[in-house]
Amino acid sequence: MDADLVLGIDCSTTASKAVAWDHSGAPVAEGRASLALLTPHPGWGEQDARQWWSATVEATRQVTSAVVASRIAAVCITHQRETFVPVDAAGAPLRNAILWLDERSRMQLAALDRQFGHDALHDLTGRPPSMTQSLPKLVWLREHEPEALRHAARVVDVHAYLVHALSGAWITSLACADPMGIVDMRRGAWADDLIRDIGLSRGQFVDLAPPGAVIGRVSAAAAAETGLLAGTPIVAGAGDGQAASLGAGLTGPGRAYVNLGTAVAAGALSDRYVTDRAFRTCAGAIPGTFVLESVLRGGTATVSWFMEQMADPRLGDEAFAHYEREAAALPPGADGLLLVPYWNTVMNPYWDPEATGLVVGWTTGTRRHHLYRAILDGIALEHRLAMEGIAAATGSPLEDHVILGGGSRSALWRQIMADVLAAPVRRARSADATNLGAGVLAAWAAGWFPTAEAAANAMTATTETALPRPAEAAHYDRLFREVYVDLFPAIRESMDRLTRLTAEMRESVDSGQGMTSSAG
């Protein structure tokens, strides 16, 4: 039984999870340890990076307590993208890590747009500047905490931090680093000029390796903490979105995935570098490929918001099941209530950090379950907008869709997706497709399969399939084309002005010069 398993580690925003996978992609043992989210100021998101390692140790220990460590052929890491931390020469964090969801860098984002040009940055890095990526937050750090960067031997992503903790090596994967927004995507290398122009040095960033490459081995010290065998190969992984696409079985064109997690990551593969405002372009988990990716920052997080703020508190733990039943009884379009799900600004296709969510169609007959259904409908309609943008840019239709993540547990949401897309929607067999993607890369590197594609084909599968219903699909098609696609653009200018006005009023109040005091 020696070396018949691989270990995937997913260090996400909320937890580090370790799973041992066999040759067929079945989980054999798993462990999990939570991570704390810190919000020192409204809109900020930070973590103590040391917790990434302590949580990973705890999660891995749970696995090595269940299976003999000699059975693990290789280890591969996937992780929350764009999150970074400055560290000293020994690897100790100099401050808290700044997370992908942090929104402190609005002013720096606007300045980057003016300095380098929106389209130029998009062409270089595969994505227009947005608050999700590391780039504007690095500029914020340079402006507000210059000592942290001045004393930083390195600025590292989660993958690089954990690889160093496991092996002592300073290296990361191209498919882990590129979402930071400081990689030259055509060359597959750090964008040296951009890094210099924002006041940092190339020497502060670790070497890049292709996903699937062996980049280190578990050290004796890490083995003592985790229970892994010293010398176990460590394989270059991919960010959680790219890993999820591999764990969903995407190995070629024509198939798309949608990961209904805290945020919604979705997309398709391309064998050529192509950019468009409809998506961002990431290095694929399969070397030489690209993931054309849509990201909606409010996915199941918007559902959680509803449950926490809008659901009837008397329902308690029964709230989710109750609203699923009530919403399922409604027709497509939630009896005229339509939602645009920009609860946490919008990336593609508008790349508007001032955008906010919309709900239109309120009447005296609107009830809580109408809003719940509108959330599911709105996220599905937004997903269709992204998929149509990808198909148009590549000239390749997307006819097969795989759904995964926590939201895929909802049979109602799977059916809505099928009806909105007018295409079959297949549920990924593994609930941990992101982690499985890391397992696929580890299995390929361990020599179990000749290619990453062969490993994915052997280790991934789908289960239930939701088929589009003709009448419902036709209604959603009209709703999408006649209302949804024009709704946000029609009032975007007013919404952005509202966001700016609100920010100005908050600043005025915070500075003690609000309307009440000035009137006095």
Strand partners, 346: 352
Query: Distances from the Cα of 458 to the Cαs of 166, 371, 423, in angstroms?
Result: 28, 41, 25
Instruction: State residue 172's pLDDT score.
Output: 98
Q: Name residue, tokens 């499985």.
A: 436
Instruction: State residue 514's pLDDT score.
Output: 44
Instruction: State residue 518's pLDDT score.
Output: 36
* DSSP codes, 343-412: BTBB-TTT-BTT---EEE---TT--HHHHHHHHHHHHHHHHHHHHHHHHHHHT----EEEEESGGGG-HH
pLDDT at 45 over 90: yes
Overall average pLDDT of the 13-39 stretch: 97
Q: Where are the domains of the chain?
A: 5-242
Cis preceding linkage at 349, omega within 30:
yes
pLDDT tens by residue, 258-276: 999 888 999 999 999 999 9
Overall average pLDDT of the 336-358 stretch: 93
Report the topology of domain 5-242. Nucleotidyltransferase; domain 5 (3.30.420)
Instruction: State residue 297's pLDDT score.
Output: 86
Instruction: State residue 431's pLDDT score.
Output: 82
Instruction: State residue 509's pLDDT score.
Output: 81
Strand partners, 466: 425
Q: Which amino acid is at 463?
A: T
pLDDT tens by residue, 215-250: 999 999 999 999 999 999 999 999 999 999 999 999
pLDDT tens by residue, 80-123: 999 999 999 999 999 999 999 999 998 999 999 999 998 999 99
pLDDT tens by residue, 4-13: 999 999 999 9
Kindly give the residue spans of alpha helices, DSSP state H, lying in 422-484: 433-445, 452-459, 470-479
Overall average pLDDT of the 418-441 stretch: 96
pLDDT tens by residue, 295-313: 998 889 999 999 999 999 9
For 431: left if phi > 0, alpha if psi spans -120 to 50, otherwise beta; the answer is alpha
What does pLDDT average to over the chain? 95
- Rounded CA gap, 243 and 433, in Å? 8
Q: Pull the structure tokens for residue 488.
A: 């946000």
Q: Which amino acid is at 202?
A: R
- Above pLDDT 70, what percent of the chain? 98
- Rounded CA gap, 252 and 28, in Å? 28
- Rounded CA gap, 19 and 430, in Å? 11
pLDDT band per the 50, 70, 90 thresholds, residue 517: very low
Q: 3-class SS at 110?
A: helix
Instruction: State residue 1's pLDDT score.
Output: 57
Instruction: State residue 363's pLDDT score.
Output: 97
Query: Distances from the Cα of 59 to the Cαs of 66, 77, 360, 437, in angstroms?
Result: 11, 13, 44, 18
Strand partners, 116: none
CB-based contact 294:245 (threshold 8 Å):
no
Q: At what angle do helices 411-421 and 368-394 cross, to 10 degrees?
A: 40
